[in-house]
Structure 1
């Protein structure tokens, strides 16, 4: 057995790495986590109650109340609501209009912002002021003129009118946002494209759009969700049952017909699920798009 002398033990002790202090969680962190957990529960709890009541029978709801666990799962309320409002048709209407508006609004925003942010057209500031004012106008102000205009153009009670209206409304926000982004666009890339002989149109689609793709993906996602959730203008312009979207169908059904609590919960659950699924699918796209501008 080898016994180290005092100098040897001292040298080995000096050569060893110092012990790192163990980090202790401060009480403030636990308080923050507890507050965040409470906030999450406050957000999730109403949706959880709706989901629980949607799979109950009316007798179970009447006897045990809205906060009880269902005795057995029953999807009859969802089936009754689906058949009553022809929900497949309403889903298709909402999906078509939201997708068309998202694509057209992003395209129009890119063209406008390219002219204002990079092209530096004359009167750029006044155009931006116009788009800013258009963003803050309430939809109630637009209802009457758009109603009579759609009547004159024979577009009333058609999905085309909704697509045109919300394409213009959403592109006003997209133009204002993208103009500030394109105003700071790297001039080196534009100069390199010009040296290579690329015109303005080719520069837009081969240089500007690929670089700003994360921002465009965020705009597309927001435009889709915003259009899906619109209620006021579609309620005015879509009066036929076959042309109604999901929010309008839910509002009209709950307004003029009597439904039991389970069917009402089923309608709320089925109405909100598509938008939630779309958001969850594109959540990573949103995260990449929002953080892309913070990383050089």
Structure 2
């Protein structure tokens, strides 16, 4: 008979969590609570009545959950019209701004046009200029072209401004593409247009998706330029409609909180829908 020796492998002991991990977790939870505190106060005060707010203050729990503030806000503001204007402007700026950024960055980063570095410096300067320095030429330009009180005035302005940043970002990324990849496509007979859509675009698609999400959120939150160019109530965006609740001598705080909550919900829904797009774009960019 042949004897087989059996070896017993001791079971791996579970690793004990270090106290440092618990400290980091506690700090992360604390930071999350601090960041969520303004949103929690917004929700609490949105469901209060004016009497409840003036009696107990902003930090107290509502004595009764009321929808009166939402009714007052919807009675004073055409929310659906403002929501449509904001969605239309932000969506078109995101699409057009990303497209213009792709085309101009392709010419600078891959086409190697003359003066590309100077153009990038101009684009960078355009992103650094305050909007107050641009409002006078934009105002008179909108009046001269007949686009004043039209959503297209804001769409054109923010498409150019967002594309300046997008061009600066994408051109630096495109300049790192392997030249052998582009040369191989050219040897196969592909022209510049075919190289753009068959070679460059698939590589840049995650970055373009992230850029489009950023353009949408940035344009949604814009206030100063739309306030000047869109004075008519029928073309106002949500931030401008929300500002109409602030009177000269008084502010309806509960209605303002209700309107802020309704204004925040579309961006939250948009972020939840495109959260995977953001995570994929960041992950792919890090792998590259």
Instruction: Using structure 2 for the length normalisation, give the TM-score.
Output: 0.92
1:139 is aligned to 2:120 = no
Deviation per CA, 1:103-147: give whole Å up to 9, x if none: 110000000010001111111111111111111111111111212
- 1:251-266 to 2 correspondence within 5 Å? 251-256=243-248, 258-266=250-258
What is the CA–CA distance in structure 2 between the aligned matches of 1:252 and 1:276, rounded to whole Å?
Answer: 23
What is the CA–CA distance in structure 2 between the aligned matches of 1:204 and 1:83, rounded to whole Å?
Answer: 50
1:23 is aligned to 2:23 = no
Alignment correspondent of 1:3:
none
Structure 1 residue 200, shift from structure 2 partner: 0.8
Q: Which of 144, 148, 158 is matched with 2:140 structurally?
A: 148
1:199 is aligned to 2:186 = no
Deviation per CA, 1:180-204: give whole Å up to 9, x if none: 1111113343233223322111221
What is the CA–CA distance in structure 1 between the aligned matches of 2:94 and 2:253, rounded to whole Å?
Answer: 35
Quick check: 1:109–1:175 contact (8 Å CA) kept in 2? Answer: yes
Quick check: 1:150–1:161 contact (8 Å CA) kept in 2? Answer: yes
Structure 1 residue 22, shift from structure 2 partner: 3.0
Alignment correspondent of 1:74:
66
What is the CA–CA distance in structure 2 between the aligned matches of 1:237 and 1:246, rounded to whole Å?
Answer: 14
Instruction: Answer with 212-221 or 198-207: which moved more.
Output: 198-207
What is the CA–CA distance in structure 1 between the aligned matches of 2:127 and 2:58, rounded to whole Å?
Answer: 41
Alignment correspondent of 2:153:
161
In structure 2, do the counterparts of structure 1 residues 136 and 62 end up closer, same or farther at CA, with 3 Å as the change threshold? Answer: closer
In structure 2, do the counterparts of structure 1 residues 249 and 256 end up closer, same or farther at CA, with 3 Å as the change threshold? Answer: farther
What is the CA–CA distance in structure 2 between the aligned matches of 1:72 and 1:255, rounded to whole Å?
Answer: 27
What is the CA–CA distance in structure 2 between the aligned matches of 1:241 and 1:261, rounded to whole Å?
Answer: 22
Quick check: 2:47–2:66 contact (8 Å CA) kept in 1? Answer: yes
RMSD: 2.0
Q: Which of 256, 269, 278 is matched with 1:286 structurally?
A: 278
In structure 2, do the counterparts of structure 1 residues 37 and 159 end up closer, same or farther at CA, with 3 Å as the change threshold? Answer: same
Alignment correspondent of 1:4:
none
Q: Which of 31, 42, 45 is matched with 2:37 structurally?
A: 45
Q: Which aligned segments of 4 or more residues in structure 1 are displaced greater than 6 angstroms?
A: none
Structure 1 residue 99, shift from structure 2 partner: 0.6
Give the gaps of 5 or more residues in structure 1: 1-7
Alignment correspondent of 2:167:
175
Q: Tell me, what secondary structure is at the counterpart of 2:195?
A: helix
Instruction: Answer with 67-76 or 88-97: which moved more.
Output: 67-76
Quick check: 2:245–2:252 contact (8 Å CA) kept in 1? Answer: no
- 1:178-189 to 2 correspondence within 5 Å? 178-189=170-181
1:101 is aligned to 2:93 = yes
Quick check: 1:53–1:61 contact (8 Å CA) kept in 2? Answer: yes
Larger radius of gyration between Structure 1 and Structure 2: 1
Instruction: Using structure 1 for the length normalisation, give the TM-score.
Output: 0.90
- 1:219-234 to 2 correspondence within 5 Å? 219-234=211-226
What is the CA–CA distance in structure 2 between the aligned matches of 1:71 and 1:175, rounded to whole Å?
Answer: 52
Alignment correspondent of 1:126:
118
Quick check: 1:82–1:88 contact (8 Å CA) kept in 2? Answer: no
Alignment correspondent of 1:5:
none
Number of residue pairs aligned between Structure 1 and Structure 2: 286
What is the CA–CA distance in structure 2 between the aligned matches of 1:282 and 1:63, rounded to whole Å?
Answer: 41
Structure 1 residue 207, shift from structure 2 partner: 1.9
Quick check: 2:245–2:256 contact (8 Å CA) kept in 1? Answer: no
